[in-house]
Amino acid sequence: NLVETVKGYAAHEKETLDAVIKARNAAVAAPTPSTQAAAEGQLLAATRQLFALGEAYPDLKANQNFLALQEELTATEDKVGYARQFYNDSVLDYNNKLQQFPTMFFARMLKFERREYFEADEAARTVPSVEF
């Protein structure tokens, strides 16, 4: 089990693992794109901290469970990026349709509104430093 592996190697770094779990749960439960973007930014920051643990503990980095976790989290990060791009492309198409003839008349009549793009916050773009 991944959780037990990390706990066994870095018991005092439980906060990092708890942050990953909490951020993952928040990202899954986010009701709107803006709250989901914030939650995914926190998840990205937490997973980067977890990767930093691997650098601090060479034995942990050599553990197969941890390596599998790293691969899974990297794949998940890629999927989130692709999903964000797909969503933003869909929002672009939707917003453009709202302004085109003849759909603009139906959009106004049915009170369709422009949608916001899904953007990662600054925390998701910076690599956190982990000090021991």
Instruction: Express each pLDDT in 96-131 by its tens digit.
Output: 999 999 999 999 999 999 999 888 766 555 544 434
Confidence (pLDDT) at 91: 96
CA distances from 73 to 9, 20, 27, 47, 50 (A): 19, 10, 14, 7, 10
Confidence (pLDDT) at 45: 84
Confidence (pLDDT) at 93: 97
Confidence (pLDDT) at 86: 94
